[in-house]
Amino acid sequence: MANVVVIGAQWGDEGKGKITDLLSKSADMVVRSQGGVNAGHTVVVDDRTFKLHLIPSGILYPDTECIIGSGTVIDPEVLLEEIEQLNQLNVSSNNLFISQTAHVTMPYHRLIDKASEERRGDFKIGTTGRGIGPTYADKSERTGIRILDLMNKEAFPKILEWTINYKNAILEKLYDLPPLDHKQVLEEYQRYAEILRPYVIDSSLKISQAVKERKNVLFEGAQGTLLDLDHGTYPYVTSSNPIAGGACVGAGVGPTIIDRVIGVAKAYTTRVGEGPFPTELKEEIGELLGDRGAEFGTTTGRRRRCGWFDAVIGRYAVRINGLDCLAITKLDILDELEEIKVCVAYEIDGERCEHFPSDSNQFARCQPIYETLPGWKQSTTECRKLEDLPQSALDYLKFLAEVMETPIAIVSLGAGRDQTIIVEDPIHGPKRALLDHNGTPIG
């Protein structure tokens, strides 16, 4: 038995969907703990591509229970679209459950999100415009609408009327936008409520019961460590806590039940939206990585910025999350390169810095200090065992394990489930890994 948290160790888009999908095979329950439709997981199964924004990746296994936890924010329209898409692909949603205390993204949240971003001008942060930040803002302001409010036939119309009046004043006076029609929004969301009602539960209680029954519970993170509201590259962050500690809060469990934390990182680095990116490659190699890696956001379709692997933010992710192993994804994207660079430290105002700076102004001035490794110039997509890898590819993985002082347990070499080297199953396997932090192969 093991309860495992899977988180992103970079700026999101690391391939957590595939890793979660792989681990879900050994899980009895998968819990999504934070974020909303601003996140996206892409999973490829038998040449079919599933793009999920709210529903946990474990839904692709018929016996795995999937919970959208209380720390998430739910756009009912998008959730119902996902359920319908899965049904059309013969994937059942019978094992899907929604926390009654999750907050609901409303039409005014999306309008305020887009209008606010436009007003920022040069200070824009690259929001998806899906209303996530304003939904979390209402949660903190204690004016939010929760799933249980949506389910309350008597109270919801009154709550919505007050809220719409309040938000219309903001839309009209601050953003010069037309007001929303209370009755129209009420009818729309009452319709959503009736369809979603069978899915709604006390999720914390259900998760607790699974833990007591010694079931395997997988906690699925959205976004990545460097987008964390408290510990990321503020203000270019998301509105929740994608780090491992956030999984406990967003799921409604205590930290003592967590057995392992696995961080997912690409073999290079990407970032969507605004904000500093020390290892960004803006010319030929960056374009090559973007094209070979199909680096377009699952949610927005925006092209991702690409750069060399940044071990400074990697070590920071290890520290902030308490990572005890890593999954390295998209190693195959580097197959064509003559040489590969890894950022091992920064130079800030002429001084070497080994650690991630919390000051965003300092971070913007960081210049990467690289170590260069030879490429392998051959395909790795068919490798299924450690010994199948070219020596230079294995040396690259050893270097990442050493510089991050964390063992590598999983290596992904393509989008398909089978394009993976797994020596250790973090759920059922012993606490050993593919490469230890000294770069020595194990197993």
Catalytic residue set:
13, 41
Q: Which two tokens stand for residue 436?
A: 């230890």
What is the CB neighbour count within 10 angstroms for residue 399? Answer: 19
Which 3 state secondary structure label does DSSP give 200? strand
- Omega of the bond prior to 430 within 30 degrees of 0, cis? no
Angle formed by the axes of helices 76-88 and 182-196, to 10°?
40
Q: Rounded distance, CA 362 to CA 385, Å? A: 42
What is the CB neighbour count within 10 angstroms for residue 341? Answer: 18
Name the percent of the chain in helix, strand, coil, to the closest 5.
35, 20, 40
What residues pair up with 265 in beta bridges, in sequence order? Answer: 328
CB within 8 A of 333, min separation 6: which ones?
A: 266, 267, 268, 289, 292, 293
Q: Rounded distance, CA 60 to CA 389, Å? A: 29
Task: Give 20: exposed, middle or buried? Use CB within 10 Å, 0-12, 13-18, 19+.
Answer: buried
Termini Cα distance of the chain: 21
Q: What DSSP string runs through 93-121? A: -TTEEEETT-EE--HHHHHHHHHHHHHHG
Q: In this structure, are residues 52 and 45 in contact, taking their beta carbons and an 8 Å threshold?
A: no
What residues pair up with 296 in beta bridges, in sequence order? Answer: 303
The runs of H, that is alpha helices, within 309-412 are: 311-321, 360-364, 391-404
Q: In this structure, are residues 340 and 310 in contact, taking their beta carbons and an 8 Å threshold?
A: no
Residue type, 54: L
Torsion region of 46: left, alpha or beta (phi above 0 gives left; psi -120 to 50 gives alpha): left
Which of 247, 256, 239 is closest to 203 using CA atoms?
A: 247
Residue type, 407: P
